[in-house]
A and B are shown apart, each in its own frame.
Chain A
Amino acid sequence: MIRNNDIVSPYQIAMITIMTVISVEVFSIAADTADILGTDGWLVIVILGIINIFTAMVIVRLNSIFPGKTIAEYSQIIIGTVPGKVLTSFFAIYLIIVIAYVTRVFTEVVKMFLLFRTPTEVIMLSLILVSTYIVRGGVECVARINELIFPILFIPFTIVMLFGLPNMDFSNLRPILQTPPGKVLASIPRMIFSFGGIELALYYIGFMKEPKKAYKSLIISVLFILLFFVMVIVFCIAAFGAKSTTKAIWPLVMYIRGISLPGLFIERLDGVILSLWVLTVFTTIVTVFFTASYSISKVAGTREQKQYVLPLVIIIYYLALQPGSLAELYEWGNAIFPYAVSAFMYVVPVMLLIIAGLRKLEVKQNEGN
């Protein structure tokens, strides 16, 4: 059951969503979109963002039918105990894979740019183990860490991004809107994973006092993510041109490396920004980790989720070590996430909402507390 002090405010829901969705993919998003659509790459993100506003609304609608309950609980009410538990277990498996993937990508970036000789295992374990501390603290800790880190990350980051303006040539964004609409639509499935993370609201809204207040927070956070991604893509393409952007593995890191502050006060900013970036990956891992262990506790029918956290570390660590190289890692990511994300972000909430509607399920306000 949900403890009394485990309450998430509408503001925290927005922070959780933003910090979860924005994680490692932001390093490579400019290269991915430029690869598919060239200079019109930002367009696919805008379309996806608009689609995801509706996804967010579906998620909040679903959750407000069952106030005080997360998907792990109400899925058992909607489709029955056993199918609900099966769905939750699949969700948990997907979330664990997400953590492993994020950890590994992040380790690769850090190893490339910051810690050249530190063993991969050490980077990974220290990142996961620190997260376990927060996750064991429960949902309130998770929400608070997101709330806390948001300004620490985005204010310096936006300032630093602006210092790159002298390197930019906005005519690189031309030609605008020359891609045939069919090609744009066909490219949507390839970028679907970039917004992966909104589905975690299925869990976190369950901890809110009034789930209806999440409409505003979720829509604002989707818009924020959309603007942030578009900014990153536009800045990278303006700085390098579409052709050279596709050649880089992590154009954003390249962009930051290209910045030199006037007066040479600080000559190289990439170290500073990458250390800040540890925070966003950390929050992503924390939020996903909590939902994973929470799902398991609901499947097993235990009251607490704490005891599952440390054993999960071993699984995550093992999974994260599996891909042999960066190429293999991205291959796996591209094979799993487009399907998994669209299943859990679009198919599951919509189906559950339809079934709940058909069965005319309503939970009385006071039940479940």
Chain B
Amino acid sequence: MKAIKRLGAAAVMSCLLLLAGCWDKVEIEDRLFVLAIGVDSATEAEQKISEDRYTLSFVAPVVDQIIEGEGPTFHTYKTVENNLITSLTQLLERFSKKQFFGHTRAIFFGEDIMKSDKLLKEVLDGVSRYHELHNSMYAYIVPGRAEEVFEVKPMYDKLLAPYIAGITENSNYTSKAMRLSLLDMTIMLENQQGGLVIPKLVPGEKEVRLNGAGVLKGYKLIGYLGDKETSVYNWLMNKAKGGAISIEYNNTPTVFRHFTFNRKIRLAKVEEGKIYLNYEMETEGSIEEYKMGWKILDNVLLEEISREVEKRIEGESEKLIEKFQKQFKADLIGVKDYLSKYQPKLYKTIEKDYEKFFTDSIVVEVTANVKIRRVGLIK
């Protein structure tokens, strides 16, 4: 009896050996934290076989070099494959560490990917299906090739990806920078049937610059917005927060700086098959620069300046709306969004053939309301 009990106890204990263990353990030293991904279409010179479609570049920090050390603080890994997921496994075949995408901060799309709807759709499906990638990372378009971004050696930052993400996060203070996460990107593509405005990142030698934006229609790149136009686009889409607007007043450059910027859309009227919309913009801020010796703390003067700023906002907004209506023929300025949300009955009548309706029969008027609250430290 005692022997049986002992045997039983031994059997139970041996269970501990069998049950213990972990399949998913990966030591942190073995992980390769990929901080940014660049996607390009493969050039002919790179193709090993003709099926190869993508050149993917990954950037990962070299941990022991970040704290001290003279070597490069990050490495770039490059693969050429015909799809996204085998590109990831190719890394495993060539490098000793296991890549981990939980902390990826940015994804760069080369211009050539954006020019082909087929390539873009494939890559986006792969990115949003893959469980390890978080879709809160920022997305950018790079004129030329995305891998060029990884050749940038940032002047004052040790790592590339946090540097670029930091620039994007400055969009709270400047309306010229645009902020778009991968999630926002897929949502917008979904809602606009392939329409998208995506921030453009221009790599330089020692720095990158967030400059303008790419415009997509039907999953294809159809043009770019300039630096100023991006700012106007942010106004139109109610994405702007802080920023500065410079105008000429009395032959003097005068700078109006705003910390809030709100846009509301109102339906003005529906007449003869045309829809008249009113974009109401409201902003508050201060005058930051005028001319030494000239007094600006004067209500009448401030009123006049704010009229000027209003004119500026209205004029530039209407110019950009016209560009979207006439040149791009794509509703990326929130008209459809507004109509389908707030005027669902009206929207149902024009839902079919909406694109034609947008270019021909939608009239947008912009009214701005600028309030100058402060003028800085001197009168």
Contacts and interface: CB of A to CB of B under 8 A. Distances in A.
A7 to B, nearest CB: 34
Interface string A148-178: 0000000000000000000100011011001
A174 B347 CA distance: 13
Contact of B341 (A117, A174, A254): A174
B8 interface: no
B24 A112 contact: no
Contacts of A257: 134-136
A267 interface: yes
A366 interface: no
Size bin of chain B's contact surface: 10 to 19
Nearest to A122: B23
Contact of B190 (A113, A122, A244): A244
| Residue of B186, B190, B345 contacting most chain A CB atoms (<10 Å) | B190
Contacts of A178: 344-345
A258 B136 contact: yes
A115 B186 contact: no
Contacts of A247: 190
B24 A258 contact: no
Nearest to A240: B187
A117 B23 contact: yes
A268 B131 CA distance: 13
B344 A260 contact: no
Nearest to A175: B344
A67 interface: no
Interface string A242-270: 01100100000010011110000001100
A325 interface: no
A174 B187 contact: no
A241 interface: yes
Contacts of B345: 178
Contacts of A267: 102-103
Nearest to B22: A118
Interface in B91-132: 102-103, 131
Contacts of B136: 257-260
B249 interface: no
A116 interface: yes
Nearest to B342: A174
B102 A268 contact: yes
B191 interface: yes
Size bin of chain A's contact surface: 20 to 34
Interface string B123-155: 000000001001110000000000000000000
B341 A244 contact: no
B339 to A, nearest CB: 10
Given A175-B340, A260-B136, A268-B102, A243 B23 contact: no
B190 A258 contact: no
Contacts of A118: 22-24
A182 interface: no
B183 interface: yes
Contact of B24 (A117, A171, A174, A175): A117
Contacts of B131: 112-113, 116
B24 to A, nearest CB: 5
A181 interface: no
Contacts of A171: 341
A275 B119 CA distance: 36
B23 A115 contact: yes
A119 interface: yes
Given A172-B341, A257-B136, 13 more contacts: A112-B131, A115-B24, A171-B341, A174-B341, A178-B345, A240-B187, A247-B190, A258-B135, A258-B183, A267-B102, A267-B103, A268-B103, A268-B134
Interface of A: 112-119, 122, 167, 171-172, 174-175, 178, 240-241, 243-244, 247, 254, 257-260, 267-268
Q: Give 3 nearest A-B pairs by CB, closest first.
A: A174-B341, A175-B344, A118-B23
Interface of B: 22-24, 102-103, 131, 134-136, 183, 186-187, 190-191, 340-342, 344-345
30 contacts: A114-B24, A116-B24, A116-B131, A117-B23, A117-B24, A119-B23, A171-B341, A172-B341, A174-B344, A175-B344, A178-B345, A241-B187, A241-B190, A241-B191, A243-B187, A243-B191, A244-B186, A244-B187, A244-B191, A247-B190, A254-B135, A257-B134, A257-B135, A257-B136, A258-B134, A258-B135, A259-B136, A267-B102, A268-B102, A268-B103
